[in-house]
Amino acid sequence: MLGRIFVWWDSATWGTLFTLMRRKAKLIGTDEQGNRYFEETDKPSFADGRHRRWVIYHGVAEASRVPPDWHGWLHHTFAEPPEKGRLPRQKFEKDHLPNMTGTPLAYHPKGSLYQNAHGVDEGKDYQPWSPEADNKSS
């Protein structure tokens, strides 16, 4: 229970849930990853008449887990939630991959310090600059 008060990276804290109840927010929909989307039903929060919108993540709170059509709805790009009219999926779109930065599965280009430290061959065509070599040529 104490974790729910302070832990923001796993679902919603008590403060967020209280805010959703106090503002009389209603559940608009859920995406394929289990994230839940809310919109306030009380008076508009913005001067132009827009209502505030929220996402409560299912699991780790990572912004890249919000699908493009829900992202557009959250940012008031689309008036209707995706459940009423989904965007057609383009053939170039890929399935979601989590952000692997900071993990062993992160992308490390050829010649990076990570690759060199783990014994990966950096390539035959790469020659690092050396000030001694530069002085010899002059």
62 in a structural domain: yes
Secondary structure string (H, E, C) spanning 18-54: HHHHHCCEEEEEECCCCCEEEEECCCCCCCCCCCCEE
pLDDT of residue 90: 85
Q: Note the pLDDT of residue 35.
A: 92
If one counts the domains in the chain, the total is 1
Instruction: Work out the widest C-alpha separation in the chain, in whole angstroms.
Output: 75
Q: Is residue 76 part of a domain?
A: yes
Whether 24 maps to a domain, the answer reads: yes
- Residue 88: inside a domain: yes
Q: What is the pTM of this model?
A: 0.61
The boundaries of the domain holding residue 57 are 2-95
Spatial strand order in the sheet of 36-40: 25-30, 36-40, 53-56
What is the pLDDT at residue 137? 58
Work out the percent of the chain whose per-residue pLDDT is above 90. 9
**Residue 66 belongs to a domain:** yes
Residues 4-54: tens digit of each pLDDT: 555 555 556 666 666 666 667 888 999 988 999 999 887 777 778 888 888
